[in-house]
Structure 1
Amino acid sequence: MTKRSRRASKLTRAECEEIHSVYYVAKGLGCGAIGKKIGLSKSSVSRNFKKYDLPLRSNIEATQLSNRKWSDRDIEKIYQNEHINKKMTFEAISKVHEISPAQFSARCAKLGLKARSKAEATECFWAKREPEIRKIYEQYIHDAKPVDEIACELDCSISQVYRCFKHFEYQMKSLRGSNLTDDDVSQIVKLNAEEQAPREIEENLGISSSTVRNVLKKLGIEPRKHEEAVNLALRRGRDKNRKSINANIKFEFFEQMTPQLAWFLGAVCSDGSIGFNYGPNKITCSFSLASIDKDFVDKLGMLVGLSPSKSASSTSSKPIWTLRCSNKLFVGHLEELGVSNNKSSSVTIPEAIPPELIRHFIRGYFEGDGCVSKTCKGTLKFSLSSKSEKLIRSVAEVLFEQAGIGICGKRRSLSHVSSPNCPCLTVYKRSVKDSDLVMYVISSSSLEMLEKLYCYLYQNVDEAYRMNRKFNVFKKALGSL
């Protein structure tokens, strides 16, 4: 049982009859007004009257009584003198004249007297408080009282006192929330210029990181981007327990097109991906590249400064090795070079790669999605597949133009999509079993073409920039024929 209900149950018949007689009948007060005087709710007063069969006025009688008590002229007078002239609210008026705010508002609306808008009410509130706040500010600015003592006297928080000062645009002695001197501010600016983070400045100067950020913001100094701040901190040995994968990224690798970069882009277009996660407050960029060949992933990781992580595969007994990072600048470089999100069906040879370096891109793509093996008849077969018809057609054209690799015979299959007179390797369209997925494939079993392909992909290529597993299979198979 609540405090209010216990109070209501203690009213005896004699108490209820006295309250009913003195307040309800003699003074004409309503149940709500009576409840305010005796410390009960309106419903509690009404229930007690009903409990002891004390008569209550109907709604019509209550309205008529109120209208007799407060005439239209009285309402207009109160409205003009107190609401307009004295800037009092309806609630304040109701306490003075013992009329509920809702009832006074309804009477004013009936007479066409409009209440103040929210903006006008706010303006009146501050206008009434200005003398009080000015007096407080004078105590603050002349060091008569500190802000915490003023807040204690007003029974409010320190931030509320500062908000009052800010509303009237009063000048502060120091930055809000701090007792910083000019020397403190200069030290903060100096350490920030030395690429220290707010938390490091907090440790060095004993000033909270939030205050440091406020000082820099007040001075118009732009904060560093998150990725830049993280990398700077990690290079100085900060957050050693944090296993950041962004700490050693080699962004300079993307500045100039090289054979190594072309090879890396080929591998990314086959086994890699970029993505964007749109959160409520920020967009997270991500990159990943996965393969079962650890040597291949290690070499790619060395180029860009990423270390592979190991995970179990759901389709193979061999583990999967993955390069991954969430870095906006890293993903931005890949986008500028032609790698796009959801690339699998639309990927093509990036325009940023000059013709003389395309063979390195094709080598990277082949080492991801290509295959070379011996058939059951003992012949050697090469194939390269992709969901992107445009990419496969482009690779077939480049192989013909730069390496002289083309068809050696008639196109007998009906599944090809190449034009009849095209001399390039035939592009076949294949449907994946039990799936709607469509793949485009080029292949060849001609020994002459395979030898040309081997020389085109691997001639004068350092071991550090190739997948040894496929290279060795290719070399061994050609040597055994």
Structure 2
Amino acid sequence: MGKTPTEFEQQVIDLYLNGIKPYSMARMQKFRGYYPATFDRILQKYGYKKRVPKSLPNSFEQELISFYQLGYSVPQMIKMKQFEGATLSRIYSVLIKHGINRRSNKINSRVHNVYHGFFTKIDTEEKAYWLGFIYADGYITKRGNYVGLALAQRDKSHLEKLVRTLQTDYTIKEYKVTNGYGKGNTFCRLILCSEIMKTDLVSKGVLINKSLKLIFPSFQIVPVELIRHFIRGYFDGDGSLSHYGPNNKNHFTIKICGTYEFLSNLKSCLRDALELGGLGSICKSTNNNKNNYYLTIGGNIQVTAVLNHLYKNATIYLERKYFRYLHFLQIANKDSFN
């Protein structure tokens, strides 16, 4: 025989059978102090499955759900023009109706707006690009839930693109280096606080103190059709295109820095996409035992193939690198590689 529910468990089952959901039970005075998850476990224990919404959300409900999942709180949403006339209770009822979990007061008390779930699933060019850029130039903190990017002042407009993409009111701060490497230079920095974003980035391969342990993402993280955008983001952050011209010849070289494991897989992806037998070489960057290397790709034919693969028809890039690419094409076409 199966287990007999306790008196408390039977009350929960009876309420559920009468149409009361776990979330609503948790708001009852007699169940004060219990969380919805407690009632879910009791129901699952006795074979009661979660109810599936009876209908798909209409356009109003879908927009409401989308804004909530972007990180907006319900009090913020009722002040928006598109939700004019909606009450707190109506919005909460829509969320409950469609099985959307209510966020804690801690999360809802955030001061800043930001698209917290931007990196939850890498399914667009923008997401793949910014993930690659953060692999190169971004960081997450060990303490707190901070995600940061710091660039030279000349690239401030690039951080402004990210601010618009993440729909955030976090501001870019400027600071001057007073000692050590880069002394006297001015940098700009964007720091976001988001537990969701930090967790998503960690799951996508962005690690604390990642420089010497970075691994190239799998196709489960970045789909193969988006991998060139990821590589472009990484190249914009940690790559360079150099130009020299001995004997009246113009020669270009691509250089990308990273760990040996990361660069090996990046090289393989480029070689497979471009159907090239060989592609550059990976070299040790310093005379120490640390895992820091660089990939060099020379020869104008190969450089042309790689740059076209990364930048042709792209919609997001670091302006400075993109103009460098256009300048290369102009010179390369003029010389015709002779």
Shorter-chain TM band: 0.5 to 0.7
Matches within 5 A, 1:279-318: 284-292=144-152, 293-304=155-166, 305=168, 306-314=170-178, 315=182, 317-318=184-185
- Aligned equivalent of 1:449, options 284, 302, 317: 302
Tell me which amino acid in the other structure corresponds to 1:296.
H
Q: 1:355 aligns with which of 217, 224, 242?
A: 224
Q: How many Å apart are 1:312 and its aligned residue? A: 1.1
From 251, 259, 267, the equivalent of 1:379 is 251
For 1:427, the aligned partner's letter is I
Q: What SS class does the counterpart of residue 320 from structure 1 fall into? A: strand
How much does 1:272 deviate? 0.7
Taking the aligned partners of 1:373 and 1:343, their CA distance within structure 2 comes to 26
How big is each residue's C-alpha offset from its partner over 1:386-408, in whole Å with a ceiling of 9 and x where there is no partner? 1x1110001100010012355xx
Residue in structure 2 matched with residue 249 of structure 1 by the alignment: 114
- Residue 274 of structure 1 contacts residue 285 of structure 1 at CA under 8 Å; is this kept in 2? yes
Alignment partner, residue 313 of structure 2: 460
Distance 1:440 1:466 in 2: 24
1:338 aligns with 2:205: yes
- The 1:476–1:195 alpha-carbon spacing in structure 2 relative to 1, beyond 3 Å, is closer
Compared CA separation, residues 354 and 427, structure 1 to 2 (3 A): same
State the partner residue of 1:321: 188
Deviations 1:121-171 (A, max 9, x none): xxxxxxxxxxxxxxxxxxxxxxxxxxxxxxxxxxxxxxxxxxxxxxxxxxx
CA distance in 2, matches of 1:375, 1:330: 42
CA distance in 2, matches of 1:480, 1:223: 55
- Cα deviation for residue 332 of structure 1 reads 1.3
Once the 2 structures are TM-superposed, how far is the Cα of residue 436 of structure 1 from its aligned partner? 6.1
Cα drift, residue 329 of structure 1 = 1.9
Secondary structure at 1:339 match in 2: coil
- Pick closer, same or farther for the CA change 1:223–1:447 going to 2, 3 Å: closer
Distance 1:450 1:424 in 2: 10
Matched ranges for 1:91-110 at <5 A: none
Q: CA deviation at 1:227?
A: 3.2
Q: How much does 1:330 deviate?
A: 2.0
Q: Secondary structure at the residue paired with 1:254?
A: coil
Would the aligned equivalents of 2:136 and 2:234 in 1 still touch at CA under 8 Å? Answer: yes
Alpha-carbon distance in 1 for matches of 2:199, 2:321:
31
Q: Would you say the 8 A contact 2:304–2:329 is kept in 1? A: yes
Q: How far apart are 1:311 and its partner, in Å? A: 1.1
Q: Which residue of 1 aligns with 2:268?
A: 397
Pairing of 1:461-476 with structure 2 (within 5 A): 461-462=314-315, 465-476=316-327
Letter in 1 for 2:328: A
Whichever residue aligns with residue 127 of structure 2, its letter is L
- Quote the residue 2:104 is aligned against: 224
Q: 3-state SS of the aligned residue for 2:210?
A: coil
Map of 1:440 onto structure 2? 293
CA contact (8 A) 1:373 1:473 kept: no
Work out the CA distance in 1 between the residues paired with 2:74 and 2:141.
Answer: 34
8 A contact 1:383–1:444 mirrored in 2: yes
| Unmatched segments (≥5 aa) in structure 2 | 1-72, 77-101, 333-338
Question: 1:200 matched to which residue of 2?
Answer: none
> Which SS does the other structure have where 1:431 is aligned?
coil
Report the Cα distance in structure 2 between the residues aligned to 1:260 and 1:457, rounded to whole angstroms. Answer: 14
d(CA) in 2 for partners of 1:327, 1:285 = 5
> In structure 2, what is the Cα distance between the partners aligned to 1:405 and 1:228?
51
- Which structure is richer in relative contact order (CA contacts within 8 A, separation 6 or more)? 2
Instruction: Give distance in 2, aligned partners of 1:339 and 1:437.
Output: 19
Matched AA of 1:298: E
Amino acid at match of 1:297: L
CA gap of 1:194–1:263, structure 2 versus 1, over 3 A, is closer
Q: Which amino acid aligns with 1:250?
A: Y
Match of 1:427 in 2: 282
Contact 1:296–1:467 (CA under 8 A) maintained in structure 2: yes
Structure 1 pair 381–316 and aligned structure 2 pair: CA distance change class (3 A): farther
In the alignment, the residues of structure 2 paired with residue 399 and residue 350 of structure 1 have an alpha-carbon distance, to the nearest angstrom, of 14
Deviation at 1:357, TM superposition (A): 0.6
| CA spacing shift, 1:310–1:344, aligned 2, 3 Å | same
Asked if the contact 1:254–1:261 (Cα under 8 Å) also holds between the matched residues in 2, the reply is yes
Structure-1 separation of matches of 2:198 and 2:319: 27
Coordinate RMSD, CA, aligned: 2.5
Distance in 1, Cα, partners of 2:257 & 2:74: 51
Taking structure 2 as the reference length, the TM-score comes to 0.60
The residue identity in structure 1 corresponding to 2:157 is: D
Q: Trace 1:133-212 onto structure 2 (pairs within 5 A).
A: none
Residue equivalent to 1:272: 138
- Confirm or deny: 8 A CA contact 1:405 1:453 kept in the other structure: no
The question of whether the paired residues in 1 share the 8 Å contact of 2:145 and 2:195 is answered with yes
| Distance in 2, Cα, partners of 1:346 & 1:285 | 21
Give the AA of the match of 1:265: L
Q: Work out the CA distance in 2 between the residues paired with 1:452 and 1:429.
A: 25
Bigger share in helix: 1
How far residue 275 of structure 1 moved from its aligned partner, in angstroms, is 1.5
Aligned residue runs from structure 1 range 67-146, under 5 A: none
- Structure 1 runs (4+) deviating above 6 angstroms are none
Structure 1, unpaired ranges of 5+: 1-192, 197-221, 235-246, 278-283, 407-422
- Give the match's secondary structure for 2:113: coil
Instruction: Tell me how far apart the structure 2 counterparts of residues 355 and 226 of structure 1 sit (CA, whole Å).
Output: 37
